[in-house]
A and B are shown apart, each in its own frame.
Chain A
Amino acid sequence: MLSALLVMAGIAIVLGAVLGYSAIKFHVEGNPLVDKIDAILPQTQCGQCGYPGCRPYAAAIASGEADINLCPPGGEEGIHKLADLLGVEFKPFGGGTVLKPKAVAFIDENLCIGCTLCIQACPVDAIAGAAKQMHTIIASECTGCELCVSPCPVNCISMLPIVEKITTWKWKYPVYSLAPAK
């Protein structure tokens, strides 16, 4: 009886030591799930989810604090991908969500006073300019987050929807007539 207890206790101690050692040895820095979620998010850094950027939102989803349907730029497809990754049900956008077409910011250079407020607001450094110098958007870097629109004291920034060009044109889903069922 005693020997059995001792053997079991011995096994428990050894296994516990192994577990404790591997917890330290194979410790993973950061949360890998956050990286996976962050890879799905569209990186507009717009803050429409209520978090100050895509990565904080990813961290909030990973910790179960935030829902998966808070990212309008990611679209429904983004929600599907998140749902697949996390193994949860798809959840449609809330009622107040406005889905906008992709856009880039545009500065009316005649009105710009060079205050640099938009430059400070831009999360991806897509605005070129300096104090008392005209600013301009580097369109290829703009994520369309709209964070520069409200700080502008002279309302010279507008969002221009991206128009389809011959180089960005996509084949459409085939539409054709089906034979009626007999």
Chain B
Amino acid sequence: MRTLYQFNGGIHPPENKEQSTQRGITRAPLSSRLIIPFRQHAGEAAKPVVQAGDHVLKGQLIGMPCGLVSSAVHASTSGTITAIDMQPVAHPSGMPDLCATLIPDGKEEWLPHEAVDYRSSDSAELRQHLRMCGVVGLGGAVFPSDLKLRPLRGHPNKDIGTLILNGAECEPYITCDDMLMRERAAEIVQGAEMLRFMLDAGEVLIGIEDNKPQAITAMRQAVADSGLPFEVVVVPTIYPGGSAKQLIRMLTGLEVPSGKLPTEIGVQCFNVATVYSAYRALAHGEPLLSRIVTITGNVRLPQNLKVLLGTPVQDLVALGEALPDTNHYIMGGPMMGMELASTAVPLVKAGNCIIAASDKLFPPAPPALPCIRCSRCAQACPADLQPMDMFWFSQSREFDKAQQFSLFDCIECGACSYVCPSHIPLVQYFQFAKSEIRAREQDKQAADHARERHEFREYRIEREKQEKAGKLAAREQSIRQSQAAANSGIGPAIQPEIQAAIERARAQAASAEPRNTDNLTPQQRAEIAGVEARRERVRELAKSAVEHTNDHDKN
């Protein structure tokens, strides 16, 4: 029996998980139109490599990763790309983003793909393969997985002692990882072995909360069948025990230092769904084209669906048969999810759950009261922060002071807002403060860059001025030198030559043919004089006309 550790804080919201675990995972029918955003991962958006009108096969690359933190995007099924334009997407801003619209042809025709023999491949090649397969963290942060498998910069020889599979799934309502572990346990275990091989990790721990007994049994069985020395560890159910730092703390007792990555303490953590998609990518060569989504909340048929990425949320809602009093939808869980501006948005890699919400299910928050500094938020905070102080400084826009209270260690889990007796939306303040601080940092960088460019320009102008002055001085000197040379006695020696050249030129001019204006008859001369007079008159007229129009303009 493994010793478990505790983290401070945490809450126990009603779980509401049993509704959606009554049925197995079913495949969602193919939608008539898929909208595939090019930004489905943390970092830079992928660059489109197809055009409107192109026919694509299932699994074909349509978005090339661009920059270090980026990932590939693929056609989820075979069909025709009809447009590449801005479409509404699931984002707290409600703003549109670049998407490809794919009209499926219904044939599900795959691009040829094959397995990668991971044991005989180079680790960098495998990482590139995962990047080109679009494998990103499916727990919600959608961070490219290949970057988490990279040897740590600065500590190239730092060993990863522990690989943790995150099957905690602590947020209420969401059951997609639970169902995945129940039904695809063997594949997850195989995937874990692949990632363990890539990281060269010592032990593998699979952390699952104790409210998922069936998933625990299935995973234990799969580990026993595979004969691999992995350990399924049952952790107590507490929110947010599924957050990477908190799960690492529970399983190993280690705390990830502020501003550092888990790899720096020799631990790496992957969500089970990510491990499953890494397995599909390596063992079958399949890019990430679908994910398991929980449809729950105010619906008649809560269930888990295997959904192609890009499927409009409204089609999923229809499959769950949302009840008539549903008034809004949440993508993600009730604690950290975001309200969708419309159900026309597509399902993306981050979309683990769609909750149909009604006022009965989620009563609107009562009006907020002033903070009474009861410090219940500090007791609930799993990151050991003092939310009341961070709130105070975020509210008054004293961002540097908020930062001194470790604002950036906040994981935005919402535990503080949940327990606040004054119903203050604390997390919204923290999100606001964080994005303001980030924007300021960007402005500062831009200013520093502009200063550098301005100073270089001034330096360049100065340098050019000096170069010009130098050249001028050199020329003057060379003229002075040649004049001095002309006056200093070399002159008389070449004087006869010059005289001879002048003589020759004169002789040549004298022997030249007469021009056609020489030797004219008086009649011709009179004609020329007449022409010249006419020309003169015309010039005069033209001049006076211009003056006239100018006068006219002035008037």
Contact = CB atoms under 8 A, between A and B. Distances in A.
**Which of B365, B435, B450: most chain A CB closer than 10 A?**
B450
Contacts of A180: 367
B366 A165 contact: no
A125 interface: yes
B431 interface: yes
A2 interface: no
A32 B370 CA distance: 44
Interface string A90-108: 0000000000000000000
A165 B91 CA distance: 12
A179 B369 contact: yes
A53 B458 CA distance: 11
Interface stretch (A23-31, A109-117, A167-175): A167-175
Given A45-B454, A124-B450, A174-B432, A169 B368 contact: no
B51 interface: no
Contact of A171 (B95, B367, B434): B434
B439 interface: yes
A173 B396 CA distance: 10
A43 B448 contact: yes
A54 interface: yes
Q: Which of A53, A171, A173 has the most CB of B within 10 A?
A: A171
A141 B368 CA distance: 44
A141 to B, nearest CB: 7
B301 to A, nearest CB: 33
B93 A169 contact: yes
Contacts of B446: 43, 143
Interface in B71-115: 89, 91-93, 95-97
Contact of B457 (A124, A170, A172): A124
B450 A171 contact: no
Interface string A109-139: 0000000000000011110000000000000
Interface string A144-182: 000000000000000000001110111111101111100
B396 to A, nearest CB: 11
A124 B454 contact: yes
B367 A179 contact: yes
Interface string B426-439: 00110110111001
B428 A174 contact: yes
Interface string B442-457: 0100111111011011
Contact of B453 (A141, A169, A171, A174): A141
A171 B368 contact: no
Contact of B369 (A125, A166, A178): A178
Interface residues of B, number: 33
Contact of A43 (B96, B436, B450, B457): B450
Nearest to A169: B93
Contacts of A143: 446, 450
Contacts, number: 77
A32 to B, nearest CB: 16
Contacts of A174: 425, 428-429, 432
Contacts of A177: 367-368
Interface residues of A, number: 29
A172 B432 contact: yes
Contacts of B96: 166
A94 to B, nearest CB: 23
Contact of A165 (B95, B367, B449): B95
Nearest to B370: A178
Contacts of B92: 169, 171
A75 B39 CA distance: 33
Nearest to A54: B451
A178 B454 contact: no
B457 A169 contact: no
Given A43-B450, A170-B436, A176 B95 contact: no
Interface string B266-300: 00000000000000000000000000000000000
Contacts of B93: 166, 169
Interface in A8-61: 38, 41-45, 53-54
Contacts of A53: 454
Contacts of B429: 174
Contacts of B435: 169-171
A173 B443 contact: no
A53 B443 CA distance: 18
Nearest to A45: B454
B457 A125 contact: yes
Contacts of B368: 176-179
Contacts of A123: 454, 457
B341 to A, nearest CB: 13
B203 to A, nearest CB: 39
Nearest to B453: A124
B91 A166 contact: yes
A170 B437 CA distance: 10
Contacts of A179: 366-369
28 contacts: A38-B451, A41-B447, A42-B443, A43-B450, A43-B454, A45-B454, A54-B451, A54-B454, A124-B453, A124-B454, A125-B453, A141-B449, A143-B446, A143-B450, A166-B39, A166-B93, A166-B96, A169-B93, A170-B439, A171-B432, A174-B428, A174-B429, A176-B368, A177-B368, A178-B367, A178-B369, A179-B368, A179-B369
Interface of A: 38, 41-45, 53-54, 123-126, 141, 143, 164-166, 168-174, 176-180
Given A174-B429, A179-B368, 7 more contacts: A41-B447, A42-B443, A124-B457, A171-B92, A171-B436, A176-B368, A179-B369
